[in-house]
Amino acid sequence: MKHVAIVGGGPKRYIPDLTEYDKDKMIWIGADQGAEVLLEQGIPISLAVGDFDSVTENRLEEIRNFAKHTDVHPEEKDDTDLELAVKAALKEKPEKIYLFGVTGGRIDHTLANIHLLHQTERANVPAVIIDQQNQIELTTPGKHRVKKVDGYPYLSFIPISMTVKKLSLEGFYYPLNDMDLPLGSTLCMSNKLVKEYGTFSYDQGILLLIRSRDS
């Protein structure tokens, strides 16, 4: 299975120990300061990409020497550093993409980064955003099976389309049956699985599935 992991330039305190995720020998891409994080954690970089305005010239030279490939872009460009990394990841035709260092700090960056999950979904590639407290996935209509994940007890379902039609939850502490959720609803916050597995299904719309834990 080919998996690609991207590390963005978000605040380092939000980024978990990445060596825990390297056991499958993933392809690692560092976006801007994310390449510095990979360098510091000693994880081989397949591609370092971005304008690197967040690292020093000396650090960029270290990244160049450490990474297999380095792609430096001008600061004035149409795509963010992370979007460049996502496009590069999709060219690898992976079975899954992991994103780290894309939350925290500026809220505009965080929201834009979450919405980049639409690009991976359109390419039919599952993707998950992971930080110290959260795992975020974008889902589409259909029936989905979810498993308990150690350390992330809460599951929330956040609509990011105007309406989510006929949402049902089974195996959850708060079950639902064919409930419509409008954009802005907080009905499905902080739920929990009561079994090892649960299912959720809906007919129309887009939902974020967010696993989280308290700090």
Q: pLDDT of 58-89, one tens digit each?
A: 999 999 999 999 999 988 788 899 999 999 99
| CATH no. for 3-132 | 3.40.50.10240
Report the distance separating Cα 175 and Cα 165, nearest Å: 15
The CATH number of the structural domain formed by 138-212 is 3.40.50.10240
Q: What is the pLDDT of residue 1?
A: 76
Count CA atoms closer than 13 A to 18's CA, side-chain side: 32
Taking the C-alpha atoms of residue 112 and residue 176, their distance in angstroms, rounded to an integer, is 30
pLDDT at 23 over 70: no
Query: pTM here?
Result: 0.94
Q: What pLDDT is stored for residue 75 in this prediction?
A: 81
Residue 24: pLDDT band with limits 50, 70, 90: low
Fold identical between 3-132 and 138-212? yes
Domain boundaries, the chain: 3-132, 138-212
Q: In what order do the strands lie in the sheet with 176-182?
A: 142-147, 197-202, 163-170, 176-182
pLDDT tens-place string over residues 144-170: 999 998 889 999 999 999 999 999 999
Give the CA angle between residues 55, 39, 31 to the nearest 5°.
55
